[in-house]
Structure 1
Amino acid sequence: MTFSEITDLLTAQFGPDIQITTQNLQPYLTVKTSQLVDICQFLRDDERLFFDLLACVTAIDNGLETNTMDVIYNLTSIPYEHNLMLKVMVPRNAGARQWPSVPSVAHIWRTADWHEREAFDLVGIQFEGHPDLRRILLPTDWVGHPLRTDYQEEEQYHGIKTK
């Protein structure tokens, strides 16, 4: 199935709010956070699509100027041999001391459990409804999220100089 055929199915099912970007090497769809879970469920369960593999979830901090973060999902249908990239854009900070938040898709693809934990650990994205959202790469007592553009490295960690 081609990207445009997949896009046609999704816009017929979920309306015209899906943004289509085709000028990149890999075209992608930007979806609203509120539609993410329903769209992902449809992509996995619809027999014409059957995106049975969530290959990657990654998060990008777009910086203080744009004040947004992206969460990107790379999906594959192994039997049909087609791929799709979805993107969700969220505000960097929802308010004072609040982290960006996206619904978890771990109940749709089990691999999301680990991918979402990595995005949380490194960028600070909260995944609502995640079954076990905790650090996966850094120690549990690490301060901050090192891939955020506003990350401030501590001078020491347990008596070891870090700078």
Structure 2
Amino acid sequence: MSVETPLNLILITEHFGNAIDDLGFAHGVHAFAAPPEMIVELCRFLKEHPALRFNFLSDICGVDHYPEVPRYEAVYHLYSLPNKWRVRIKCRLGDPPRVPTVTGVWRTANWHEREAWDMYGIRFEGHPDLRRIYMWEGFEGFPQRKDFPLRGYKDELNPFGAEGPPPTRPDLATKNIP
């Protein structure tokens, strides 16, 4: 490896060999592709290695690559506060999308994984409380998937209850509020 090779790439290659793919470096972020079954081990390595210390999980997001196969992807955005480095890890997932939870590595993954479940239907195996975080219980489907109808599914459930939506306040609409 050359002198310019980032330390995180050297250490990941030494530890994981060819199981983790280097996707390159762009806009200050080094990206890797990992198989779903290795995500927990890779995240724990990145967090606990004394030279790396990726101690902050910024985000986990879902991606729908329809019509590609595999269709779904979980993307992990990590940050090393001591080193000021950013890393992105991408996991391609089958259908139905499943990946092990990383809540045992970062507790904040609880919220991020629930969001990816609610919007994309990515099931995080072993998650302590995988339930909807934005949509109401009983909501059908996953609204960020590319095959979700733009107007939603016809749903008998009114999220506002029997009373309907809250009343509008026309008196506020006519006032000039700075």
Q: Indicate the TM-score class for this superposition, using the shorter chain for normalisation.
A: 0.7 to 0.9
Q: Is the 8 A contact 2:70 2:92 kept in 1?
A: no
TM-score using structure 1 length: 0.87
**Equivalent position to 1:52, from 33, 50, 55:** 55
Q: Relative to structure 1, is the Cα distance of residues 147 and 15 closer, same or farther in structure 2, using a 3 angstrom cutoff?
A: same
Larger CA Rg, structure 1 vs 2: 2
Does structure 1 residue 158 correspond to structure 2 residue 164? Answer: no
Provide the rounded CA distance (Å) in 1 between the counterparts of 2:137 and 2:104.
24
Q: CA deviation at 1:27?
A: 3.5
Higher RCO (C-alpha 8 Å, min separation 6): 1
Q: Flag structure 2 segments of 5+ consecutive residues without an equivalent.
A: 160-178
Q: Counterparts of 1:81-92 in structure 2 under 5 Å? A: 81-91=84-94
What number of residue pairs does the alignment pair up? 153
- Coordinate RMSD, CA, aligned: 1.8
Q: Counterparts of 1:9-158 in structure 2 under 5 Å? A: 9-22=11-24, 24-25=26-27, 26-91=29-94, 93=95, 99-152=96-149, 153-158=152-157
Q: Is the 8 A contact 1:21 1:29 kept in 2?
A: yes
**Worse-superposed segment, 123-132 or 80-89:** 80-89
Please name the residue that 2:10 is paired with. 8
For residues 13-62 of structure 1, give each alpha carbon's deviation from its aligned partner in whole angstroms, at most 9, with x where no partner exists.
Answer: 01112111126444310011111111111111111111110000000010
Q: Flag structure 1 segments of 5+ consecutive residues without an equivalent.
A: 94-98
What secondary structure is seen at the aligned counterpart in 1 of 2:6?
Answer: helix
Q: Is the 8 A contact 1:68 1:90 kept in 2?
A: yes
Provide the rounded CA distance (Å) in 1 between the counterparts of 2:43 and 2:30.
17
Aligned-pair identity in percent equals 33
Moved over 6 A (4+): none
